[in-house]
Structures are given as structure tokens and as C-alpha cells.
Amino acid sequence: MSAPWPAPVDPLGEALHPLRLSGTFYCRSVLTAPWGLTLPEMPDHLWFHVVTGGTSRLEMPGAEPVELRAGDIALVPHGTRHALRSEPGTIAPMVLDLPHDFLHDRYAVLHHGSGGPATTAVCGAVQVDTPAARGLVAQLPPLLHVTASPRAEWMHATVGLIVAEADELRPGGAAVITRLSDVLVIQVIRSWLESDPGARTGRLGALRDPQIGRALALVHREPERDWTVASLAARVPMSRSAFAARFTALVGEPVLAYVTRRRMEVALDRLRDGSPVAEVAGALGYRSEAAFSRAFKRVTGSSPGAARRAVSAR
């Protein structure tokens, strides 16, 4: 039964809705200068660092170092190997090789360094769990840096809830921490979209366009609908030709190609959850399993059955 009130069209909300994380690991760190840490490459994971006191220097291959100060939050969306240091040139051993005080299997406290001025931080690695979420994260830059501001205080409040929950893990605590991870990552991405000029281009930037953002939200909300260029243009509203040209310019691919790709992201999620191929095909508006399988293979490069087995193995 549908709700009795109209659902608001929120392009960013619709885009971020499939972002689901799992496999969360947190570490509270007390680091005394001089100190250094290397965080390993972790595909399909996001690294995040919240500096709660002192300063840190984040270094990534091929990029300029970034200075993190108290209140700053850094998100490494692609799980890229990187280092944190108190100052340039400090030895940075692999973090996994350092002794940790494990409070439980997903939460630890790290004391490291040489006894000088202290930097405190909350760091974590979270797994990007679904194909749709991985498609979203792939659109993000290698590093998102949110500086301390009144807006960032909301993110620190989320981190505080995570730490409090992890310090005394009660029944259901793992689920609470995972959901708070979703919130924290979405807060960082939203802040980046709102404040960074680099976020105004590409598919995520297109969400901010009044007409194209609305069209993207409609496709995300109802991927099974038999969308055409004309029907989406009418809902925006724009002329068919102007809509098609603007959509391609902002999103980077034609309207119907995006609609099909979005359907396949949803299909991957449903196949991962164990839904039969025929059921997924019908739910996404395909009149036959064969037509769905052809579209799926054209977009993903594999058959639905093979993708289901691969995603389950992952």
C-alpha cells in the first residue's frame, strides 16, 4: 500500500539511497610525534579519518599532501593505499603490523609514536556492499576532505555516537554502528557536493541541476518504469531535444543508456539477494527473461547467472 502523501523528489537522496556499508572496523588512535602510519589498499572499501585533536598529514600516491587539523574529516572512497604522518619523511609502518588493544573484533584502540605532541583520531574501514553502491562510489574523487565548520559538527556527533556504541557493544550494537557508518559517509559526500567546486561536474554534479536532477531521481525511484526520452522530458518539463542534449552533456551518457545501466545495478543487488533471474527480469519491466539477459550481458559483460554466482562469492 502506498503512502497517502506524495513522495518528495530528492535527487541526492535517491542517488545516495543504495549506499549500504558493511564489514565496519573502527580504531581510536592516540599518536605522539613523530609518528607515521601506512593504510593498505583495500578494494571495495572506504577509509575514513576524523581528526579529533592535533594535526596530521595525509599522503596519497600521485597527489599533493593534505594537512588535516582538528575537526577535519578525510574520506578515501576507493580504498587506496595512503599514509598518515605527523611530519614529512617520518617512518610510516603498516598499521596492521602495529599492536592494537582490541575491545572486540571490530573495534580497537591504537597507541603509537615517540612521545611528543599528540594527535587523536577515529579511523575506520567500511566495505561497500552492493553493486549500486560501488557504482556510486566509483564516481567520487580519490579523496574527500571536509574541513572543520559548524556543518562538520554534525558529522562529529555521528562519530561520537559510533565511539559510544563501540565502547560498550550492546545487543544490536553492530547493526547500529553499521547504520551510523552509512550516515557518516553520506554526510561527508553531501558536504563535499555542497561545498567543493569539483563536485559540480559529472554524474553527481548533475544531481544539482533542477531538471536533470529531477529526471535522475525519477529513474532511481522507478527503474522498472518504461521510461523514454519523451516521457522523462515531459516530467521535468523540457522539450525532448533540449532534455536529451542537456542530459548527455551533464551525465556523460544518453538518457536510455543511463536508464538501462541503472536497471542493471538494481538487478545485481536483487540477484545478490538470491532472487531468481525470471523474477528480477519481471520486476524491472522486461517482458521476457531472454530480453533481460541480453540487456544485462550488454551492460555488465556477463550473464545474470554468472553475475549472481560472482556477487555471492564476493
* Tens-digit pLDDT profile for residues 161-212: 877 776 666 777 667 777 777 788 888 887 777 776 666 666 777 777 888 9
Is residue 94 domain-shared with residue 233, that is, in the same domain?
Answer: no
CB neighbour list of residue 292: distance below 8 Å, 6 or more residues apart: 267, 277, 280, 281, 284, 286, 304
CA distance 279 to 308: 13
Whether 63 and 22 map to the same domain: the answer is yes
**In contact, 116 and 109? CB cutoff 8 Å:** no
Same domain, 186 and 60: yes
Confidence (pTM): 0.72
pLDDT band at 13 (very low <50, low <70, confident <90, very high): low
> Is residue 169 included in any domain, yes or no?
yes
Together in a domain, 190 and 252: no
Whether 283 maps to a domain, the answer reads yes
Of the chain, the end-to-end C-alpha distance in Å amounts to: 34
Q: Give me the chain's average pLDDT, please.
A: 83
CA–CA gap between residue 79 and residue 134 (Å, rounded): 12
CATH number at residue 140: 2.60.120.280
- 127 shares a domain with 29: yes
Q: Is it the case that residue 44 has pLDDT exceeding 60?
A: yes
Omega prior to 34 cis, within 30 of 0: yes
- Please give the Cα distance from 52 to 196 (Å, whole number): 22
Position 5 in a domain: no
> Which is it for the CA torsion 53, 67, 139, 129, positive or negative?
negative
Q: Of 62-76, 117-131, 187-201, 271-285, which gets the smallest average pLDDT? A: 187-201
**Owning domain of residue 222:** 209-313
Choose the final residue of a domain: 164, 199, 234. Answer: 199
Q: Are residues 56 and 33 in the same domain?
A: yes
Question: pLDDT band at residue 1, thresholds of 50, 70 and 90?
Answer: very low
The CATH number of whichever domain residue 224 belongs to comes to: 1.10.10.60
Q: Which stretch, 29-33, 213-217, 222-226, has highest mean pLDDT?
A: 29-33
Strands of the sheet with 36-39, listed across from one edge:
36-39, 82-85, 55-59, 66-69
Count of the separate structural domains present in the chain: 2
Q: Are 106 and 26 in contact, with CB atoms under 8 Å apart?
A: yes
User: Do 173 and 67 belong together in one domain?
Assistant: yes
Q: Does some domain include residue 2?
A: no
Same domain, 158 and 247: no
Q: What is the pLDDT of residues 227-251, one digit of tens each?
A: 999 999 999 889 999 999 999 998 8
